[in-house]
Amino acid sequence: MSKKIQIVKCKCGSTFAACWEPMCYEDKDWQKNLRKYLKQGATVETIENPPGGQLFQRCTCPVPGEDPNQTKLFQ
């Protein structure tokens, strides 16, 4: 039997947070953080166990105040 997972996706589409059902509806800290993420523009989805167990991805959003060309100096 597969479990359902509530996931939070960044504006860039990367999954950065997850919680199993039914805990996602019972955990007050999860609910508090979820509201904060939604105000920042994140989205919430409910999914089945991901194939291969791969769930999280690295965020590709630019960091405010960081020059995107800065990393090229060290390459």
Domain boundaries, the chain: 1-50
User: How do the pLDDT tens digits run along the chain, 75 residues long?
Assistant: 568 899 999 888 888 899 999 999 999 999 999 999 999 899 999 988 766 667 787 888 776 665 555 555 454
Q: Give residue for tokens 């860039």.
A: 12
pTM greater than the 0.85 cutoff: no
